[in-house]
Amino acid sequence: MKCRCSHCKQSFDESAMIEASGGLKFCCVGCKGVYEILNESGLGEFYVRLGKNTLNPASSGANVKNLAANFSELVTKEGEFSKISLLIDGITCSACIWLLEKALFSLPGILEVNINSLSQKAVIIYDEQELLVEQIIEKIYAVGYTPKAYAASQKEDELVKKRRNFYAKALVGVFATMNIMWLAIAQYGGYFSGIRSDVKDLLSFAQFVLATPVLFYTGSEFFKGAKIAIKNASPNMDLLVITGASITYIYSIFAMLTRSGESYFDSVAMIITFVFIGKFLEILGKKKALETSNFLSDMLLAKVCVLEDGKDILKEPKDVNLGEKIVLRAGERALLDGVVLSGEASVDSSSLTGESLPLLLGSGGEVKSGVVCLNGQIVYEAGQIFKNSYLNKLINLLQNAELKKPNIELAVNKIASKFSLSVLTLAFFTFWFWYFKFSFSEAVVTAVSVIVIACPCALALATPVSSVCALGVAFKNKVLFKEAKFFESLAKCDVAVFDKTGTLTKAKFEVGEFFIKEGVSIDKIYSLCLISNHQISVAVAEFLKQKGAKKVELENANLSVAKGVSADIIGERFVAGSRRFLAENGVKFEESEENVSFFVGKQGELVAKFYLKDSVKPEAKALMDELKSAGMKVCILSGDVQNVVKNVADELGVSEFRAGMLPDEKAKFIAGLKQQGKNVLMVGDGINDAAALSLAHVAICMGSGAAVSLEKSDVVLLDDSLQSLAKAVKISKFTYKTIKQNLLFCLLYNALSLPFAVCGYVVPLFAALFMSASSLSVILNSLFIVRKFKDK
């Protein structure tokens, strides 16, 4: 005898039953344990939301602690907190996501949970001071799900299976609908010229036979979606489609059996088939938009060749330990970062940074994960474990960006959820109006047209498809948006604030004129400069080294970030750096010295000064012109002296600039702009500008893909080019414009089509065509983002 489990709802043999009080029956100890945990935690509502859906039987929990310990290697840092990406097996519907979120947020230290129902990927951010990763894993197991290490390739087989299933359903729908159309032509011809009742009955029955598999097989996807919508009290497109088709189907059977009125089996088949094909094309459109992240994930399917005791051993990237020796041969891609130990190779980094020329790597050279070996062979030492590699960070950033929703999408989703309920209400009143004014047959047809023609699907697709297309396009243009919401934020920016050194200039300083007081040793100045790694200190040190300077012993050396350095040398106090820093340390100035970038003082006396030159990046002027033509105000902030900053600003045609600014002053300037209601884009180096970058609406760090750029940027320029920044602005503005076009189209479509349907001017057949066309229009308009920037 078969029983049904009270937790997972699966059927099982009575002999294996575990019975509990209250007549509850469980198929295993795991399901019994999960049921008790959920009810003790006040999460019994889950079973109401689950309805008749089934779950996978729960794990027994015997080995949960051992399994949980294996997940610690998946944890990465997210600022001050920790993050783990998981694939959660067993998610079947929105009730599962509801339960997982409720369960996880019940743990102390959980800050953010993002779960994608399609990919089953979960990204969890938590505070490691309050919570261990083992506790997160145990909680997921406890509520009946199985967490696994996330890998995009794990979903590939499911996607292929789903696509084949869609092909089969589409084939049945198209075949049956085409044949119904031929039968309908004969039936409609008889409507005008006359037709015998037995022939009409035969045609109606044939259409009924053909329409039935279309509704219940091809339309099964809509039934599933509608069931979930009803269970969660959240009407959606599937509910509208299947409600309209089912009402028409039932009415047509009634008309056929009673010979009263006309049957509309052709409309049933066409509604389901047209909308299903539209849904299938949406899937293909989304697949096209996601090609970039799939391309990146495919890189990780390869294995790494590790040298152990003189033998080549193939390992998964995640299994390679710090310090292991990796062999990289021609045609292979480096999957971990490291330093070359031996050999020489020419590598291509164009797929990640846009650098067109091959780079020659030899002993001591830095290997960045993602580069492809063109020729030669090197052995390099793994400098990072895989989860901290540059390539893995890029892939995680892009995949996480697809999980996060922009503000406009969150607002639209709220409207779409209420829209469906409004449409059903309108259809209800339309039916009764037509029923009392005209006839039952006309009331049914008109109400069905109202239900079918409305398109919350197009409204819901307006933002996400555009965002996903734009994420892929931006990455191919060497720009990585950390979250889709930054398209909207960057498009709205009306002020662009730039740091000067290293952002608008090359940061390759050269000493022009200089003055050193007689009797002052260049060795002492040289040793002072070595305290700091700032570009100006490095340039002065290099200049003095070429003049034969040597390092001397320093005492009480001190570095003041963005200001200067100080130290005692043979009993004398030396300071070096900016004019302000020296003045703060009691050094007196007799002249304005506006063009000097670096000063040296001894015992309160100015003893040396250096005039440094830094050239503007060739693409900087074009960027300034583009930003101004796009309606953005441009401002330069720099810690450099007034005259130097003014020269750069004049060369770039920028009228507003600030010189001699410290990091906290830059932050106050950004805060002031925000108080004025400005939307601010801040572009800096990510180190001295950290405070200002954190305050801006959008932060972009220059730095050739350095770790600091990945961590602090909202938008990462993979090739460190100002041209890529210009592309980022263009893509953002075009994407935001496309989203607004999609939303405007959806609103106009519904505003115009619904009154026509209510007034009875649209039959269900054309309602289905219009509804599918509106969804496809949104998809095609979004895909234009890909076409527009394809060859840029």
In a domain, 536, yes or no: yes
Please report the beta strands in 675-783, taking only residues with DSSP state E, as ranges in sequence order: 680-684, 698-701, 715-717
User: 514 forms bridges with which residues in the sheet?
Assistant: 610
In a domain, 152, yes or no: yes
Distance (Å, rounded) from C-alpha 632 to C-alpha 636?
Answer: 13
Q: Any residues with CB less than 8 A from the CB of 588 and at least 6 apart, and which?
A: 604, 605, 606
Contacts 24+ apart (CB under 8 A), 39-45: 41/103, 41/106, 43/99, 43/102, 43/103, 43/143
Same domain (yes/no): 556, 623: no
pLDDT at 169 over 50: yes
Reported as a single tens digit per residue, the pLDDT across 571-587 is 888 999 888 888 888 88
Same domain (yes/no): 606, 643: no
Give the pLDDT band (50/70/90) at residue 29.
low
pLDDT at 323 over 80: yes
pLDDT of residue 761: 82
HEC secondary structure over 593-650: CCCCCEEEEECCEEEEEEEEECCECCCHHHHHHHHHHCCCEEEEECCCCHHHHHHHHH
In a domain, 341, yes or no: yes
- Percent of the chain at pLDDT exceeding 70: 72
pLDDT of residue 709: 47
Distance (Å, rounded) from C-alpha 168 to C-alpha 154?
Answer: 23
Distance (Å, rounded) from C-alpha 616 to C-alpha 626?
Answer: 17
Lowest mean pLDDT among 293-307, 629-643, 732-746: 293-307
pLDDT at 251 over 80: no
Q: Mean pLDDT score of the chain, rounded to an integer?
A: 76
pLDDT of residue 659: 83
The structure tokens listed for 449 are 């047209």
- Percent of the chain at pLDDT exceeding 90: 1
Evaluate whether 431 touches 449 at the Cβ level (below 8 Å): no
pLDDT at 409 over 60: no
Same domain (yes/no): 681, 649: yes
Mean per-residue pLDDT, 718-745: 84
Evaluate whether 351 touches 403 at the Cβ level (below 8 Å): no
pLDDT of residue 575: 92
In a domain, 411, yes or no: no
Structural domain including 9 reads 2-50
DSSP state of 144: T
In a domain, 230, yes or no: no
In a domain, 338, yes or no: yes
Same domain (yes/no): 33, 15: yes
Residue 439 CB: number of other CB atoms within 10 A?
12
Same domain (yes/no): 577, 672: no
pLDDT at 306 over 80: yes
Give the pLDDT band (50/70/90) at residue 770.
confident
- The domain that holds 369 is classified in CATH as 2.70.150.10
DSSP state of 358: -
Give the pLDDT band (50/70/90) at residue 485.
confident
Same domain (yes/no): 622, 727: yes
Residue 318 CB: number of other CB atoms within 10 A?
18
Give the pLDDT band (50/70/90) at residue 229.
low
pLDDT of residue 394: 65
Same domain (yes/no): 495, 579: no
Evaluate whether 240 touches 451 at the Cβ level (below 8 Å): yes
pLDDT of residue 354: 45
Same domain (yes/no): 519, 649: no
Mean per-residue pLDDT, 397-415: 54
- The domain that holds 560 is classified in CATH as 3.40.1110.10
pLDDT of residue 54: 62
User: 709 forms bridges with which residues in the sheet?
Assistant: none
Q: Could you say which of 712, 733, 754 is where a domain stops?
A: 733
pLDDT at 321 over 60: yes
Highest-scoring range by mean pLDDT, 399-408, 437-446, 460-469: 437-446
pLDDT at 289 over 50: no
Mean per-residue pLDDT, 590-616: 78
Same domain (yes/no): 498, 640: yes
Highest-scoring range by mean pLDDT, 13-27, 171-185, 499-513: 171-185
Please tell me the total count of domains within the chain. 5
Distance (Å, rounded) from C-alpha 762 to C-alpha 558?
Answer: 80
Q: Could you say which of 368, 384, 400 is where a domain stops?
A: 384
Q: Which residue has the higher pLDDT, 302 or 215?
A: 215
In a domain, 224, yes or no: no
Give the pLDDT band (50/70/90) at residue 238.
confident
Give the pLDDT band (50/70/90) at residue 62.
very low
Mean per-residue pLDDT, 45-53: 62
pLDDT at 740 over 70: yes
Same domain (yes/no): 662, 518: no
Q: Could you say which of 352, 384, 416 is where a domain stops?
A: 384
Q: Which residue has the higher pLDDT, 128 or 229?
A: 128
pLDDT of residue 706: 46
Lowest mean pLDDT among 92-101, 650-659, 688-697: 92-101
- The domain that holds 105 is classified in CATH as 3.30.70.100
- Write down how long the chain is: 792
- The domain that holds 712 is classified in CATH as 3.40.50.1000
Same domain (yes/no): 728, 624: yes
Distance (Å, rounded) from C-alpha 31 to C-alpha 33?
Answer: 5
Same domain (yes/no): 607, 621: no
In a domain, 15, yes or no: yes
